[in-house]
Amino acid sequence: MQLFLKLDAIDISILDAFLNDGRASLRDVARETSLSTPTVSSHLSRLMKGRLIKKFVPLLNLDAIDQGIVSVVTLKVPPSEVNTLAKRRVYASWNISCPRQSRTAVA
């Protein structure tokens, strides 16, 4: 069983297009990437079936609201890819506050 999808240049260009505009149509992405709409569709289906893309969600402008939002992000990557992933472009910015809390074990 293969745990990780192998991404090719087409996959990466499609992902980049959707990261720039998650609401883009397949036709828009095809135009932006110089691919055919069926090619974009088949690659997107494979990425979703492989669970690289779980779903499309809005990226909130946290400065526009007067409330804190708690978010947990977990990445699973093979140890050999950690440095490569860390050097990649960041597609979002964030403010992180991690107050130190003491925990008491209850038996």
Considering only CA atoms, which of 52, 69, 51, 49 is closest in space to residue 60?
69
CATH, domain range 9-86: 1.10.10.10
Task: For the chain, give the percent of residues with pLDDT over 90.
Answer: 40
Task: Provide CB contacts within 8 A for 41, sequence distance 6+.
Answer: 26
Provide the residue type at 103 as one letter.
R
Instruction: List pLDDT tens digits, range 25-73.
Output: 999 999 999 999 999 999 999 999 998 998 888 877 777 777 665 666 7
The predicted model scores a pTM of 0.56
Question: Roughly what angle, to the nearest 10 degrees, separates helices 26-33 and 37-49?
Answer: 110
What dihedral do alpha carbons 65, 89, 57, 55 form, nearest 10°? -160
Domain ranges of the chain: 9-86
Which tokens sit at 53?
A: 């893309």
Q: Are 92 and 100 in contact (CB under 8 A)?
A: no
